[in-house]
Amino acid sequence: MMVLRAFRYFVEEALTSLWRSRLITGLSVITIAVSLFVLGAFLSLASNLADVVARWSDKVQVTFYLEDQLPEAPREGLTAALRADPSVESVAYISREEALRRFRALIKQLGVTHVEVIATAAAREAGNGPEFIAQAERVLGWPITVLSGMASLAGFMKSTAIIPVMSATL
């Protein structure tokens, strides 16, 4: 009985003190609530970011662009070295022509009705630029407009969407 009376006395005194300093009590409660909210938001963000990074690290894709003149032996050596690496899941060599064919198939699959293919300074100034453009036109089936320096900038600014077809290796 004595314990209950003491407990009741402590509770009544605590409530009385809280009531007397309502402003300080309210500010303290708000401060603690904001602190707990910030801590919870940080922990939630950290957990979600860790999940995103884990998912991204599982799906890393690396693309190598090889020179056209690269002999078969170094390419096969690179392919063999990559296949021997246990962290590499798969290796696929895709020729420039095959990449262009895939691009054309993707455009058809997406139902694109109008395609305007443009080439900029890289294709214009590359040593193999004219042959690359001719090959791309043959594979894609669309004419390629080679822009001048200023036309490149103006074309970029007015275009609604520019999709790079392929980059010529310098």
Together in a domain, 81 and 146: no
Are 102 and 53 members of one domain? no
How many domains are contained in the chain?
3
- End-of-domain residue from the set 69, 93, 117: 93
Do 108 and 158 have their domain in common? yes
Residue range(s) defining the domain that contains residue 16: 2-58
Which pLDDT score, from 0 to 100, does residue 167 have?
A: 40
Low-confidence spans in the chain with pLDDT less than 70:
68, 149-170
pLDDT at 37: 97
pLDDT at 153: 57
* C-alpha distances in Å from residue 128, one per residue of 4, 42, 104, 117: 94, 53, 22, 18
pLDDT score for 52:
85
Is there a single domain that holds both residue 157 and residue 129? yes
Same domain, 81 and 23: no
Helix (H) or strand (E) holding 109: helix 96-110
Average pLDDT, the chain: 80
- Please indicate, yes or no, whether the overall pTM of this predicted structure exceeds 0.85: no
Do 8 and 40 lie in one domain? The reply is: yes
Rg value, the chain, Cα: 33
